[in-house]
Amino acid sequence: MDLDLRYPAVSDLRERARRRIPHFAFEYLDSGTGAELQVRRNREALDAVWFLPSALPGRVDPDFRTTFLGQDWDRPFGIAPLGMSGLMWPGAEALLARHAAQARIPYCLSTVATRLPEEIGPLAQGTGWFQLYVPARGDILRDILRRARESGFSKLVLTVDVPDDSRRERQRRANLTLPPKVTPRMVWEMLRHPAWSLGTARFGRPRLRLAESYVASRKSRSSLAHAGHVIRGTPDWDTLREIRDLWSGDLILKGVMDPEVAVRLRAHGADAIWVSNHGGRQLEAAPAAITMLPKVRAALGPEVPVLFDSGVSSGMDVLRALALGADFVMLGRAWHYAVAALGAKGPGHLHHILTEDMRLNMAQVGAHRIADLAARLCPPL
Ligand SMILES: Cc1cc2nc3c(=O)[nH]c(=O)nc-3n(C[C@H](O)[C@H](O)[C@H](O)COP(=O)(O)O)c2cc1C
């Protein structure tokens, strides 16, 4: 089967994922919060970033290799952290980590993944970043950082845009609760998706394994809600100072939309700033992330490493973010649509889609290098 003909775009992978996994899993992956206006706003704002087409640019054969935070990468894109990846597809974390290692792109493992840092770090072979939700207890925080470091995660990503839950109404409508209540509808959904169900039987029920490892008794371990509370700290600026002291590697601050906050985080020791609105899942009444990217870049100046995510679903979108000031672009849902749609073949195919789309569009705009892109931007009239 020629994947490029059957699934030429992320939207095709999304559609196949929708059919291939139970409704509650797809709703968890695909949804935003509220009426999902911010998800739409992210898309519309990306679509409003235009370039002027070129004339006679000659042969365009861009080199996508880049150095970011002292490490060489084959592409300026990577895999954003998603909690409960194993709910979307059994073994998703391992598939993504293996892909990252082979493709030399970063894979960021979530605190609330269904696999432990000890399992995933070695698979990522030095490409792994660890995303932290701050635990309420200091001893657990220190232990998690130790485990991440010892598992080979060289960079720590501290997420700052989740001060509390958001409503995520679509997840509620799909009956996805913590701990999950197995309803007749869920059982029916599992029966209708045998590949997902067989895989889940093989890999085990998706659980918050890292948080669970700090819950004392076997009995309370069965409660996802209980485990979830372990990582439910209420971090403030003092917490950031503490983490900065504890973590000697690169510290990336994720979920930044406010240019002033970005500058303050930098002053507090952030090695990189990750502009993101969490893919439209937290504060619905906030701007599209891409509209804040140039403002954050301007506030930080040209030298500070900046990442971007939220709504990126093509190579063209990667180019848009790079043109507007990002050094590195991350995608969350797209990698999980790919894995849910095509299993082990998914990440490689998405990598191909993104790379080809970037290459061909660089030719369209006549940009021989990433650095040429900004000059080809064309403000909508
Ligand atoms: C299902 C889902 C789970 C997520 N879980 C986490 C998480 O555990 N930690 C985190 O920092 N961000 C999390 N995010 C946010 C992503 O890291 C990323 O910011 C977002 O998905 C980017 O938008 P995109 O999906 O449109 O690419 C999650 C996003 C989704 C869709």
**Closest alpha carbon to 178 in 207, 202, 204:** 207
- State the distance from the centre of ligand 1 to the C-alpha of 29, rounded, in angstroms: 9
Question: Which of the residues are catalytic?
Answer: 278
Q: How far apart are CA 261 and CA 158, in angstroms?
A: 14
Q: How far apart are CA 221 and CA 227, in angstroms?
A: 7
- State the distance from the centre of ligand 1 to the C-alpha of 278, rounded, in angstroms: 5
Tokens read off for 33: 């919060």
Q: Which range marks the domain in which residue 140 is found? A: 3-232+239-378
Q: How far apart are CA 153 and CA 146, in angstroms?
A: 10
Q: How far apart are CA 44 and CA 39, in angstroms?
A: 9
**Closest alpha carbon to 172 in 280, 15, 32:** 32
Tokens read off for 322: 């790079």
pLDDT tens for the chain, residues 1 to 381: 799 999 999 999 999 999 999 999 999 999 999 999 999 999 999 999 999 999 999 999 999 999 999 999 999 999 999 999 999 999 999 999 999 999 999 999 999 999 999 999 999 999 999 999 999 999 999 999 999 999 999 999 999 999 998 999 999 999 887 666 788 888 899 999 999 999 999 999 899 999 999 987 655 545 556 677 788 889 999 999 999 999 999 999 999 999 999 999 999 999 999 999 999 999 999 999 999 999 999 999 999 999 999 999 999 999 999 999 999 999 999 999 999 999 999 999 999 999 999 999 999 999 999 999 999 999 765
- Nearest atom in ligand 1 to 131's CA: 11
Is the Cβ atom of 278 under 6 angstroms away from ligand 1?
yes
Give the number of residues written for the chain.
Answer: 381
pLDDT for position 226? 63
- State the distance from the centre of ligand 1 to the C-alpha of 279, rounded, in angstroms: 6
Cα-based distances in Å from 115 to 95, 230, 335:
12, 16, 17
pLDDT for position 225? 63
Is the Cβ atom of 211 under 6 angstroms away from ligand 1?
no
Q: How far apart are CA 121 and CA 113, in angstroms?
A: 12
CB–CB of 313/10 below 8 Å? yes
Helix, coil or strand: residue 287: coil
Cα-based distances in Å from 158 to 111, 171, 238, 247, 274:
10, 25, 14, 11, 10
CATH number of the domain that 100 lies in?
A: 3.20.20.70
Q: How far apart are CA 12 and CA 355, in angstroms?
A: 17
Handedness of CA 204, 207, 208, 214 (dihedral sign): negative
* 204 C-beta neighbours (distance < 10 Å), count: 11
- State the distance from the centre of ligand 1 to the C-alpha of 80, rounded, in angstroms: 6
Please state the domain count of the chain.
1
Q: How far apart are CA 50 and CA 18, in angstroms?
A: 30
Which residue(s) pair with 107 in the sheet? 79, 128
Residue nearest atom 20 of ligand 1, based on CA coordinates: 279
Residue nearest atom 19 of ligand 1, based on CA coordinates: 278
pTM over 0.85: yes
The string of pLDDT tens digits covering residues 3-40 is: 999 999 999 999 999 999 999 999 999 999 999 999 99
Q: What is the CA radius of gyration of the chain?
A: 20
